[in-house]
């Protein structure tokens, strides 16, 4: 099958994590992965972002597929249930809200900047080498928080890639669940046939 | 079910519409409909099973075609 430019977006995803390791302010670029899927699904009523442009999914597909790092087992039934998918989306949004709250506290001066990345919403990893000053504290705090979200989802995705199928992350990806909900709300069966 | 042509069938209720199946189909026989579920065009499906293997949610099965 002929490769198109968007089949190489996995490079952008890998580059994002690498750049953020050295300079946390690159984490802001991750907002593209947050807003683009929403904008595309609201504007077009499709999951074109997941279907074509998701570099992270491509990265898992490449590592688990071509590099053979996946056991290629079926995901457990509970993982594809609506309860788990919607529950994980809710949990993810709450954690995202908490990250925004922490940013607001730094913005208001109620709290000092914490130069750490939190992995799996639990483990605080020192990440001081990645920030060299020059930005407002709240800008840096948001970057640390957002990078934590991106790193955590990558680690989860890599874990389920190894245990199950390469793109198992797509089954419970909060952005995928959210965009599918938007598409479902816009869906009119009579317009697309059987 | 006889030994006739096999076709891919999607469990639409659990499909996450990720589009992994679309990428691997050699015949372009499967499409994601309006971001909600994948749909197989039966006249194009050759029953190779690539979509079933690629589906991360394992919601595509191979079944005998109705005659």
Q: Which two tokens stand for residue A181?
A: 């909900």
Contacts of B59 in chain A (CB under 8 A): 80
What distance, in Å, lies between the first and last C-alpha atoms of chain B? 10
| Predicted pLDDT of residue A157 | 97
Q: Between A57, A164, A180, which is nearest B35 by CB? A: A180
Q: Which DSSP string do the residues of B24-53 spell out, in sequence order? A: H-TT--EEEETTTEEEE-TTT-----HHHH
Q: Between B22, B36, B58, which is nearest A51 by CB? A: B22
From the options 3.30.1330.10, 3.30.930.10, 3.90.209.20, 3.30.70.20, give the CATH code of B6-64: 3.30.70.20
* 3-state SS, one letter per residue, for chain A: CCCCHHHHHHHHHHHHHHHHHHCHHHHHHHHHHHHHHHHHHHHHCCCHHHHHHCHHHHHHHHHHHHCCCCCCCCCCHHHHCHHHHHHHHHHHHHHHHHHHHHHHHHHHCCCCCCCEEEECCCEEEECHHHCCCCCCHHHHHHHHHHHHHHHHHHHHHHHHHHHCCCCCHHHHCHHHHHHHHHHHHHCCHHHHCC
ipTM for the predicted complex: 0.87
pLDDT digit string, tens, across residues A131-189: 998 999 999 999 999 999 999 999 999 999 999 999 999 999 999 999 999 999 998 88
Residue B67 predicted with pLDDT over 70: no
pLDDT band at B3 (very low <50, low <70, confident <90, very high): low
Nearest chain A alpha carbon to B34? A46
A192 Cα to chain B: minimum distance (Å): 8
Rounded to the nearest integer, the mean pLDDT of chain A is: 95
pLDDT band at A193 (very low <50, low <70, confident <90, very high): low
| Predicted pLDDT of residue B1 | 46
Contacts of A180 in chain B (CB under 8 A): 16-17, 35-36
CA atoms within 13 A on the CB side of A8: 4
**Mean pLDDT confidence for A80-84:** 95
Domain boundaries, given as residue ranges, for chain B: 6-64
Nearest chain B alpha carbon to A85? B16
User: Does A43 contact chain B (CB < 8 Å)?
Assistant: no
Taking an 8 Å cut-off on Cβ atoms, the answer to whether B17 and A183 are in contact is yes
- Interhelix angle A82-108/A137-163, rounded to 10 degrees, is 160
B contact test, residue of A4, A44, A51, A60 with most B CBs within 10 A: A51
Q: Do A157 and A169 meet the contact criterion of CB atoms below 8 Å apart?
A: yes
Q: Between A85, A171, A183, which is nearest B35 by CB? A: A183
**Mean pLDDT confidence for A83-100:** 96
In chain A, pLDDT over 90 holds for what percent of residues?
91
pLDDT band at A192 (very low <50, low <70, confident <90, very high): low
Contacts of A47 in chain B (CB under 8 A): 17-19, 32, 35
A180: nearest Cα among B48, B6, B16 = B16
Helix (H, G, I), strand (E, B) or coil at B19: coil
Taking an 8 Å cut-off on Cβ atoms, the answer to whether A177 and B36 are in contact is no
| Predicted pLDDT of residue A108 | 97
Q: Do A162 and A70 meet the contact criterion of CB atoms below 8 Å apart?
A: yes
| Predicted pLDDT of residue A189 | 80
B contact test, residue of A3, A44, A45, A50 with most B CBs within 10 A: A50
Q: Do B59 and B6 meet the contact criterion of CB atoms below 8 Å apart?
A: no
User: Does A1 contact chain B (CB < 8 Å)?
Assistant: yes
Q: Do A160 and A22 meet the contact criterion of CB atoms below 8 Å apart?
A: no
pLDDT digit string, tens, across residues B5-50: 899 999 999 999 999 999 999 999 999 999 999 999 999 999 999 9
A151: nearest Cα among A132, A125, A113 = A125
């Amino acid at each position: 099958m002929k490769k198109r430019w968007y089949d190489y977006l996995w490079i952008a995803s890998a580059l994002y994590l690498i750049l953020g390791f050295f300079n946390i302010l690159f984490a802001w670029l991750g907002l593209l992965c947050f807003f683009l899927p929403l904008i595309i699904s609201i504007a077009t009523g499709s999951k074109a972002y997941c279907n074509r442009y998701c570099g992270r999914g491509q990265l898992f597909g490449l590592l688990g597929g071509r590099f053979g790092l996946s056991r290629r087992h079926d995901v457990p039934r509970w993982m594809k249930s609506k309860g788990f998918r919607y529950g994980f989306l809710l949990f993810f949004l709450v954690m995202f809200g908490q990250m925004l709250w922490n940013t607001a506290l730094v913005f208001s001066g109620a709290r000092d900047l914490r130069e750490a990345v939190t992995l799996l919403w639990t483990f605080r990893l020192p990440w001081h080498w990645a920030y060299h000053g020059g930005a407002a504290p709240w800008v840096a705090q948001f970057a640390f928080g957002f990078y934590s979200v991106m790193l955590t989802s990558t680690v989860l995705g890599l874990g389920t890639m190894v245990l199950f199928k390469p793109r198992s992350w797509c089954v419970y990806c909060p952005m995928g669940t959210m965009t599918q909900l938007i598409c479902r709300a816009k869906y009119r069966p009579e317009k697309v046939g059987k | 079910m006889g030994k006739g042509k096999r076709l891919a069938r999607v469990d639409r209720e659990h499909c996450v519409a990720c589009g992994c199946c679309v990428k691997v189909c050699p015949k372009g026989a499967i499409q994601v409909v309006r971001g909600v579920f994948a749909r197989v065009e039966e006249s194009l499906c050759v029953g190779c099973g690539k979509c079933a293997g690629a589906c991360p949610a394992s919601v595509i099965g191979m079944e005998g075609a109705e005659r």
